[in-house]
Amino acid sequence: MRSTASIMHLDLDAFFASVEQRDKPSLRGRPVIVGGIGPRGVVATASYEARVHGVRSAMRTAEARARCPHAAFLGGRFDAYREASRLVMDRLRQESELIEPLSLDEAFVDLAAGASPTTGFDPGRVEHLVDRLRADITEITGGLTASVGVASSKLMAKIASEVNKPDGVYVIAPGTEVDVLGPMQVTAIPGVGPATAERLRRMGVLTVDDLRRQSEDELVRLLGQASGRSLHRLAVADDDRPVVASREAKSVSVEDTFEQDISDRLQLETIIERMARTVSARLRKNGLSGRTVTLKMRHHDFETHTRSSTLAHPTDNARVLADKARGLLAGEDISNGLRLLGVGVSGLADWVQDDLFADDDPDPIDDGEADDEATSSRPVRWYPGMDVHHDHHGDGWVWGSGLGRVTVRFETRWTPPGPVHTFRADDLALGAGHTGTLQS
């Protein structure tokens, strides 16, 4: 906790819904609900007009429809949200070189790490700074509003931004943190969710003041080392967590809830392959590779299990990921059907040692296999950035791996025209712009 209110938390109001209202004037002033619009969808964001009817984030869309049938239900346009977010984050970076985005619509800003190193941070000018910032954001984004909290710590800044939401500001004067925090419900503290709140309630702890009367040992017994200790400190607004500019990704995953449960193993395997390709593409886009593959399964009764397995070396290869994930599915009883399947990778490294690829990259092609008219098997020289992996091309299937030497198999009658065939990766629907040479 600092002696000055120099940490800002900014939160865009009803972000997804507000972007939709901005881009479609007919939605302004009307309830707008963005989220899953399928039978198993939930609400991501409800505009304030919809909140009046009791619609909330994470509510089932079916219930939202019942409460607010006249609302506009939208599936979401993430490219538009990302772009609006970028504009806002760029503006925040003008305020301070140290900003910490928490999501598309939220960030901490360390004002003391700020823009004017000569004069330093001036607490007296915070209100002015925030007014200007909020006006700029509304202008830059074409009408979005933000709520802002400023305080001496992350904890209090985040709490402060809630106070006058939407389109409001709250500054917590240094020295008053405990007075402000004390009467609040424990759930006001970020990290205290329903499960923790219920455990605390059974001890008679409802407010932060109640929490403060518990010993650290007691909280550790109840909640474990990390949560117990941290909550004991947060209860007295003791928080010195720094604003951290960028954190590296720890995992990449894709998951999907099906409209109807699926119990067909082949169908699930096909879905796994598609998901592995998506994960692979995202890894490559970010220059990452990972070692631990996780398969997530949610059964018909909502029981959720994960199975994971760790490779000897990091990979970003779709086929390696798919093979591993399929193997994890093999041991599972899916006879009653899955409602969700997910594929993820963790244990990320930011580079790939291509020599190692040969080891953890089981080649589906038997090199010694006899060629016939329909099949040819020949080595390919691969260039960095190129990628072919188990993709349908024209009337053939192309198999391959990431960097280094790979073998490509044309399972049907598509054969390269000549001894050396140059092609572009986008010919193979694998992403544009790269050129490779196929040598025979």
Partner DNA sequence: TCTGGGGTCCTAGGACCC
Summarize as ranges the residues that interact with DNA (CB under 7 A): 35-36, 38-42, 44, 57-58, 60, 62, 102-106, 190-197, 224-227, 247, 249-257, 259, 282, 291-292, 301-302, 304-310, 339-340, 342, 344, 346-347
Give the relative orientation of helices 265-285 and 318-330 as an angle to the nearest 10 degrees: 140
Q: Catalytic residue positions?
A: 106
Q: How far is the CB of 126 from DNA (least distance, A)?
A: 22
Q: How far is the CB of 396 from DNA (least distance, A)?
A: 30
Residue whose CB is less far from DNA, 104 or 425? 104
Q: How far is the CB of 45 from DNA (least distance, A)?
A: 9
Backbone φ and ψ for 266, nearest 5 degrees, come out as -60, -40
Q: How far is the CB of 62 from DNA (least distance, A)?
A: 5
Distance (Å, whole) CA 96 – CA 379:
53
Distance (Å, whole) CA 248 – CA 229:
26
Q: How far is the CB of 388 from DNA (least distance, A)?
A: 23
Q: How far is the CB of 275 from DNA (least distance, A)?
A: 8
Q: How far is the CB of 183 from DNA (least distance, A)?
A: 18
Distance (Å, whole) CA 263 – CA 334:
6
Between CA 170 and CA 10, with CA 21 as vertex, the angle to 5 degrees is: 25
Q: Report which residue type is found at 279.
A: V
Residue with tokens 């939160």: 11
| Residue 186 burial (C-beta neighbours within 10 Å; 0-12, 13-18, 19+) | buried
Distance (Å, whole) CA 396 – CA 382:
19
Tell whether residue 105 is among the known ligand binding residues.
yes
Residue whose CB is less far from DNA, 151 or 408? 151
Distance (Å, whole) CA 389 – CA 277:
8
Tell whether residue 79 is among the known ligand binding residues.
no
Supply the Cα-derived Rg of the chain in whole angstroms. Answer: 27
Residue whose CB is less far from DNA, 106 or 239? 106
Residue whose CB is less far from DNA, 65 or 421? 65
The DSSP bridge partners found for residue 107 are 10, 101
Instruction: Please say whether the beta carbons of 164 and 9 come within 8 A.
Output: no
The DSSP bridge partners found for residue 409 are 377
Residue whose CB is less far from DNA, 11 or 110? 11
Which residues belong to the annotated binding site?
A: 11, 105
Which residues belong to the annotated binding site for Mg(2+)?
A: 11, 105
